[in-house]
Amino acid sequence: MSKDVVTVDSLVKQYGQLMAVDGISFQVYEGEVFAFLGPNGAGKTTTVEILECIRPLTSGTAHVLGYDVTRNEDVKEIKKRIGVLPQEFCALDKLTVKENIALIGDMYAKHLDIAEVIKLLDLEDKTNEKFENLSGGLKQRVGVAAALVSDPQLIFLDEPTTGLDPKARRDVWAVIANLKKLGKTVFLTTHYMEEAQTLADRVAIINKGKIAVIGSPQELISQYGGLKVLKICGGDKKLAGLLQKKYDKVALNGNGDVLVKIDDVDEFWRVMTTLTDIKVGKDIEIQTPTIEDVFLKITGARITEEGELK
Amino acid sequence: MKALTIFKAVTKNWMRSRSGLFFSILFPVLLLIVFGSIFSGIGGSSQYRLFIQNFDLNTANGELSDLSKAFIQALNSTEAFGITDIPAGENATEYAREVLGPLGGNMRILQISEGFQGDLLNGTLKVRIGIIYDTIQYFEPYLTSEQKMAVMQGLTQIQQFNASIPDAKASLMIMLDPADQSAAMVKSIVMSVANAFNYELIGAENVVEFNETSVTTKRYSNVDFYIPGITAAFIMTNGIIALTATTTEFKRRGIIKRLSITPLTKLDWIIGNVLSQTLLNLLLTGIMIALGWVIFNVRVIPDVLSIVLILLGSIMFSGIGMTLSGFIKDVEAASAIGNAIAFPMMFLSGTYFPLEIMPSYVQAISKALPLTYFSEGLKHAMIYQNPEGVYLNMAIVAVLAVVFIIIGSLVTRWKEK
Ligand SMILES: Nc1ncnc2c1ncn2[C@@H]1O[C@H](COP(=O)(O)OP(=O)(O)OP(=O)(O)O)[C@@H](O)[C@H]1O
Ligand SMILES: [Mg+2]
């Protein structure tokens, strides 16, 4: 197993009665993209900011790059070595893209060439544009650039795509995928299922201050995602009734599609044979479960676009 | 080093903000122009307006006596006065009031009594000056102890003189307004002219030349007082309104948080901001002085003391601004609270109106306001060139600067809760 970059053990953060983080333990491994997936108020930012050494913890331990976040001398070392995109990142409005990135860079003993970072994030056209004139997606990219400029080993990205339109979101995803190629360790938080599934090597599902499960998207899906589903588009009650006689898990969805859950390849072929026998000439799709199904299974809820539990 | 980076960044950010520039530089400039123009007449010279009513007529032909005319000539040649004659038959104060109009400025009337020439020709130092004048206490704080001594001595001498010639009337009478900030100056110039006149007539040798006397007498106008006053007031608003608002804004938008995640320390952040405020305030001072020079023909020369004072004032008001923003969450509240503190302070600290003409309870309040000491100190440093008047004020400002910068640093949060 690779080296731990972040090690958290029984971490608790309490605000009065509220357990914002309720005894979580996990590791982040070197070179991976690790995602915290959870709804609003789950405790994502709280955890991340404890690791960034800007929030004190209530109990438990947290180590970043081998340093203890509660020791003052260690905090200095951690701050030198991490890059951060805070939630709702903002920079100085009247400064340009270049000036803002350089400002963050100058806070470190040494930093990457600003022009190179700008190029890496494809911000060359906007180099001398004032921050206030940028679109949301471009602002996020400046934020990622600022997180990268000190050439950190570990990068925290707190909800990097929240509030972005789908195009801008995909652009940021490309940037994050690129970070992994550069050998960085990335700790990402999100409430977008697709984001976690697409980008993360491992996902921790966090809800109400507790981590429900941790694993690679594939592991989680195969363990919790449930069965694949065969969808017979535009089927009808008659067909559903017919299939129900032979198979247990048949349902009709709102669009009038017949859904049949299948356990394995054998079952798939049996269903297909049945369909051929009764000469059903409909489109047939196979649906694989996603992280969303995992989330639903584990928490009993979905997350809306805005990040609320539903 | 990092403090310098922060200094550069926040200064640049401010310089590029139009509203920032307006409130920190343009607004005080406009205010100086407005105040300066109302109280001195734009483009007017820095001469003191003086009304002269001459009662000294030759008994022979009924014309004004030669010596009284020569005396007026001498006053004129000091270039310190803009002289307006009041005909002998008029009521002097009413006449002057009419000429001055409602906003016309201070009333200063010199009356040359009948017998002025006669007294002089008697070959004695009998020209006596009577002063309807009770501003000496009011002016006292502005004088150095030496000046005070001299004034007191002069007054005693005049009194003794008066006593030695019990029946004689004063041949020169000067009427001054107690609220007139330039009263003492006007009085001393008139006195020195009269003295020089006396000496010359009795043929005394090696007396200080009249012209030199007038040169050493610095001339002040209302604009002089507004330059340090308005400058001080806006150094105050730059800290209490502008810095409070921007810091609150930085805090709300997570800019301070973003910086706190880097190796930047809170101390460097604070130093950077204070430096930026200091530069802004020096810039403001420079512009105000230049403006006084160009528009009002007033030369205020800032010395080392003024610069040190501006530095201390910048620290003090930055400290107050940071302290305020430590307790305020949103930007609207920040500027509302900043305004609510800054504007009353501006008017209660004698910035625009001399404290001496304010009711005593206002004077008592002013003692509790940091701006009072800052603007008093700045007036002494920039206008009166009176170091002794600066030190105490400067010491108070320095202590407050330390106190507020400490509180400000304590309440500036470099960590979330
Ligand atoms: N300073 C604070 N004081 C009191 N409660 C807090 C504080 N900060 C966070 N909380 C509470 O702790 C819980 C976790 O908040 P946190 O910001 O970590 O959530 P999150 O997962 O980042 O959610 P989001 O998607 O909204 O960013 C929330 O219920 C929040 O209200
Ligand atoms: Mg959050």
Closest CA to B56 of B110, B104, B101: B110
Ligand 1 atom with the smallest distance to the CA of A46 is: 18
Count other Cβ atoms within 10 Å, centred on residue B347: 15
pLDDT digits (tens, 9 = 90+) for B62-78: 788 888 888 888 888 77
Confidence of residue A244 (pLDDT cuts 50, 70, 90): confident
- Which fold, A227-288? Alpha-Beta Plaits (3.30.70)
When scoring A15, A90, A157 by the number of chain B Cβ atoms within 10 A, the one with the most, hence best to mutate, is A90
Sheet holding A4-15, edge to edge: A18-29, A4-15, A59-64, A67-68
Atom of ligand 1 nearest to the CA of A44: 21
Whole-angstrom distance, CA of residue B67 vs CA of residue B119: 10
Query: What is the model's pLDDT at position A30?
Result: 95
Q: Does B255 touch chain A (CB under 8 A)?
A: yes
pLDDT digits (tens, 9 = 90+) for A76-121: 999 999 999 999 999 999 999 999 999 999 999 999 999 999 998 9
**Residue A127 — pLDDT band, cuts 50, 70, 90?**
very high
- What does the block give as tokens for A122? 């494809």
Chain B: give the shortest CA distance to residue A56, in Å.
7
A11 Cβ inside 6 Å of ligand 1: no
| CB proximity B21 to A under 8 Å | no
| Contacts with A80 from chain B: Cβ below 8 Å | 263
| pLDDT confidence bin for A132, thresholds 50/70/90 | very high
Q: Which atom of ligand 1 is nearest to the CA of A39?
A: 25
Question: Which tokens hold the place of A199?
Answer: 């980008």
How large a percentage of chain A has pLDDT more than 90?
Answer: 63
Distance between CA atoms of residues A224 and B409, nearest Å: 51
Determine contact, residues B39/B96, Cβ cutoff 8 Å: no
How far away is chain B from the Cα of A132, in angstroms, using its nearest Cα?
Answer: 11
Q: How far is the CA of A61 from the centre of ligand 1 (A)?
A: 19
Nearest CA in chain B to A85: B258
Between B140 and B133, residue with greater pLDDT: B140
Pick the range with the lowest mean pLDDT from A109-118, B74-83, B161-170.
B161-170
Cβ of A75 under 8 Å from any chain B Cβ? no
The pLDDT of residue B212 is above 70: no
Q: Which residues contact residue B82 at a Cβ distance below 8 angstroms, ignoring those fewer than 6 apart?
A: B45, B47, B48, B49, B50
Domain chopping of chain B, boundaries: 2-40+218-411, 48-202
Return the axis-axis angle of helices B370-379 and B222-237, rounded to nearest 10°.
Answer: 140
Please give the backbone phi and psi of residue B48, each rounded to the nearest 5 degrees, phi first: -85, 135
Is it the case that residue A52 has pLDDT exceeding 80?
yes
Task: Say how many Å lie between the CA of residue A131 and the centre of ligand 2.
Answer: 23
Search chain B and give the residue with CA nearest A48.
B261
Cα–Cα nearest to A171, from A127, A198, A146, A141: A141
Amino acid B143: pLDDT:
59
Q: State the pLDDT at residue B201.
A: 65
Residue A86 beta carbon below 6 angstroms from any ligand 1 atom: no
- Token pair, residue B101, equals 């109009």
- The whole-model pTM stands at 0.74
d(CA B272, CA B247): 12
pLDDT > 90? residue B398: yes
- To test the pocket of ligand 1, the residue of A12, A37, A45 to mutate (highest count of ligand atoms within 8 Å of its CB) is A45
Q: Where are the domains of chain A?
A: 4-223, 227-288
Q: Tell me how many residue pairs between chain A and chain B have CB atoms under 8 A apart.
A: 74
Q: φ and ψ at B78, to 5 degrees?
A: -70, -15
Taking the C-alpha atoms of residue B110 and residue B172, their distance in angstroms, rounded to an integer, is 7
- Ligand 1 atom 16: residue of nearest CA: A43
Closest CA of chain B from A105, distance in Å? 9
Residue A216 has pLDDT above 60, yes or no: yes
Angle, alpha carbons B71-B72-B77 (nearest 5°): 95
Closest Cβ–Cβ partner in A55, A103, A130 for B5 = A103
Ligand number nearest CA of A208 is 1
Would you say the CB of residue A45 lies under 6 angstroms from ligand 1?
Answer: yes
Residue with more model confidence, A277 or B283: B283
User: The CATH number of A4-223 is which of 3.40.50.300, 3.40.50.970, 3.90.1150.10, 2.20.25.10?
Assistant: 3.40.50.300
Q: Is the pLDDT of residue B340 over 90?
A: yes
Of all protein residues, whose CA lies closest to atom 26 belonging to ligand 1?
A40
CB contact under 8 A, A54 and B259: no
Q: Give the pLDDT confidence score for residue A117 in this predicted structure.
A: 94
Does residue B193 or residue A137 have the better pLDDT? A137
On whether the CB atoms of residues A58 and A50 are closer than 8 A, the answer is no
pLDDT for residue A306 is more than 80: yes
Does B417 contact ligand 1 (Cβ within 6 A)? Answer: yes
Task: Find which of A87, A104, A130, A158 to mutate to test the B interface (most B CBs within 10 Å of its CB).
Answer: A104
A91: distance to nearest CA of chain B, Å?
6
Residues 6+ apart with CB under 8 A from B269: B3, B6, B256, B259, B412, B414
Tally of CB atoms within 10 A around A190: 24
Find which of A95-99, B85-89, B113-117 is predicted with most confidence, using mean pLDDT.
Answer: A95-99
H-type alpha helices, B202-303: 210-216, 222-237, 244-252, 255-260, 266-296
Q: Which of B14, B261, B415 sits opposite A84 (nearest CB)?
A: B261
Determine the distance in angstroms separating the CA of A76 from the nearest CA of chain B, rounded to an integer.
Answer: 7
Distance CA A81, CA A97 (A): 23
| ipTM > 0.85 for the complex | yes
User: B45: exposed, middle or buried (C-beta count within 10 Å: 0-12, 13-18, 19+)?
Assistant: middle
